[in-house]
């Protein structure tokens, strides 16, 4: 299970904790205007990085503007704008003092958020208060934040959590790591007969050139990059980047890259050929798979797509994490 303090139209707090391991990011330009103040000074936090904190403060506690105090400064890279960040966290209702949520602090399961401020309620973006808490923090930092009501659940509050309108949140966040957004494994030669794959040097998004030949009639799988992570077991939830193409036309019909964020799903919820390409592979790998119609959508292609019952599909998939 994952827990994400998220802005959404129906559910402002979405349970969304992820277990993953990935390389850390590189230093990037970063500017944060969130500073400490009377609200953060009124909070006492006991316990160090990676340990569930003991938190105390007099209620009600409110901040007109989100405030933060870096309790421990990490020695890792500064997280950059737009990076996907894994954190330990604890959240409290500033009005009542109630503990709203905690990550397990088990070194395996984290809150995963994108370090990007958003006011789009349909995007599932993290609450502005929690993003402001972690902005520009080095990996390994422990941070205390007291959000403004506007940077939390605002005038609506959150009935599911029992958070009243115009409530500040008290958040403790440990910045643990940055998630990968592309495969990092060792390059492997592609077998003969596979489409040619070229990666964007900046983003890693694949482009392909299809062979001038009839497609195979059975599923073919090739490892283009061999990762060093855990093996994907049957029935696993995974996080991937992927692009899908139609062999006969070369058309890209779907891509997580163009959607701006990796996809998370259970391997049993995808078409058989796609599932077979993931199970048994290692995290960090890039896998290419040719999927004939009977291992794809068969006689039931997705509505509104250009896939037909006779379409052979080709996917390039970067395996980023097991959830």
The CA-atom distances, in angstroms, between 36 and each of 9, 43, 132, 200, 287 are 30, 11, 12, 41, 46
pLDDT, mean over the chain: 88
Residue 275 has φ and ψ, to the nearest 5°, of -55, -45
209 and 111 share a domain? no
The CA-atom distances, in angstroms, between 228 and each of 22, 90, 92, 186, 207 are 10, 31, 38, 9, 24
237 and 108 share a domain? no
**Which of these three, 145, 178, 211, is where a domain ends?**
178
Beta-carbon count within 10 A of 275 CB: 19
80 and 207 share a domain? no
Beta-carbon count within 10 A of 7 CB: 23
Give yes or no for residue 260 having a pLDDT over 90. Answer: no
**Which of these three, 122, 154, 178, is where a domain ends?**
178
- The closest of 220, 232, 212 to 318, measured between CA atoms, is 232
170 and 48 share a domain? yes
Q: Which residue has the higher pLDDT, 17 or 147?
A: 147
61 and 163 share a domain? yes
Give yes or no for residue 124 having a pLDDT over 90. Answer: no
Q: Percent of the chain beyond pLDDT 90?
A: 73
**Domain containing residue 52: CATH number:** 3.10.50.40
152 and 191 share a domain? no
Q: Are strands 313-322 and 237-246 parallel, antiparallel or unpaired?
A: antiparallel
171 and 192 share a domain? no
* Residue 31: predicted pLDDT: 67
172 and 250 share a domain? no
159 and 221 share a domain? no
Q: Which residue has the higher pLDDT, 205 or 29?
A: 205
Q: How many CA atoms lie within 13 A of 216 on its CB side?
A: 16
287/138 Cα distance (integer angstroms): 32
Count structural domains, the chain.
Answer: 2
Give yes or no for residue 2 having a pLDDT over 60. Answer: no
Quickly state the pLDDT bin for 90 (edges 50, 70, 90).
very high
- The closest of 216, 265, 219 to 242, measured between CA atoms, is 265
- Distance from chain centroid for Cα 206: 20
Q: Is the pTM of this model over 0.75?
A: no
136 and 230 share a domain? no
Give the range of the structural domain holding residue 98, as residue numbers without chain letter: 4-178
Beta bridge partners of 33: none
Q: Which residue shows structure tokens 């592309």?
A: 182
* Residue 56: predicted pLDDT: 98
Quickly state the pLDDT bin for 12 (edges 50, 70, 90).
very low
H or E element at residue 57: strand 54-57
Token pair of 150, please? Answer: 């506007």
The residues near 17 (Cβ < 8 Å, ≥ 6 apart) are 1, 2, 3, 4, 103, 104, 109, 110, 111, 112
pLDDT digits (tens, 9 = 90+) for 151-176: 999 999 999 899 999 999 999 999 99
12 and 60 share a domain? yes
110 and 199 share a domain? no
* Residue 32: predicted pLDDT: 72
* Residue 80: predicted pLDDT: 84
């Amino acid at each position: 299970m994952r827990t994400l303090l998220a802005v959404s139209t129906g559910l402002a707090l979405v349970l969304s904790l992820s277990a993953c391991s990935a390389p850390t990011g590189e230093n990037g330009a970063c500017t944060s205007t969130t500073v400490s103040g009377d609200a953060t000074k009124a909070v006492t936090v006991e316990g160090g990085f990676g340990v569930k904190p003991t938190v105390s403060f007099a209620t009600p506690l409110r901040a007109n503007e989100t405030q933060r105090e870096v309790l421990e400064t990490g020695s890792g890279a500064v997280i950059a704008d737009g990076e996907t960040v894994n954190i330990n966290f604890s959240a409290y209702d500033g009005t009542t003092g109630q503990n709203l949520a905690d990550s397990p602090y088990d070194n395996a399961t984290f809150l995963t958020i994108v370090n990007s401020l958003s006011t789009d309620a349909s995007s599932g973006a993290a609450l502005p208060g929690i993003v402001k808490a972690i902005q520009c923090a080095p990996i390994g930092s422990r941070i205390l934040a007291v959000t403004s009501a506007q940077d939390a659940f605002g005038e609506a509050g959150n009935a599911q959590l029992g958070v009243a309108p115009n409530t500040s949140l008290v958040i403790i966040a440990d910045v643990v790591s940055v998630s990968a957004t592309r495969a990092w494994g060792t390059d492997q030669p592609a077998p003969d007969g596979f489409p040619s794959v070229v990666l964007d040097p900046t983003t890693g998004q694949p482009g392909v050139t299809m062979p001038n030949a009839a497609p195979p009639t059975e599923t073919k799988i090739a490892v283009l990059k061999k990762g060093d992570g855990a093996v994907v077991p049957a029935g696993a939830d995974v996080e991937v980047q992927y692009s899908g193409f139609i062999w006969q036309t070369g058309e890209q019909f779907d891509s997580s890259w163009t959607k701006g964020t990796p996809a998370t799903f259970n391997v049993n919820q995808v078409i058989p050929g796609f599932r077979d390409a993931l199970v048994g592979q290692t995290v960090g790998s890039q896998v290419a798979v040719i999927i004939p119609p009977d291992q794809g959508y068969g006689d039931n292609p997705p509505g509104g797509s250009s896939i037909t019952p006779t379409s052979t599909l080709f996917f390039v998939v970067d395996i980023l994490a097991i959830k």
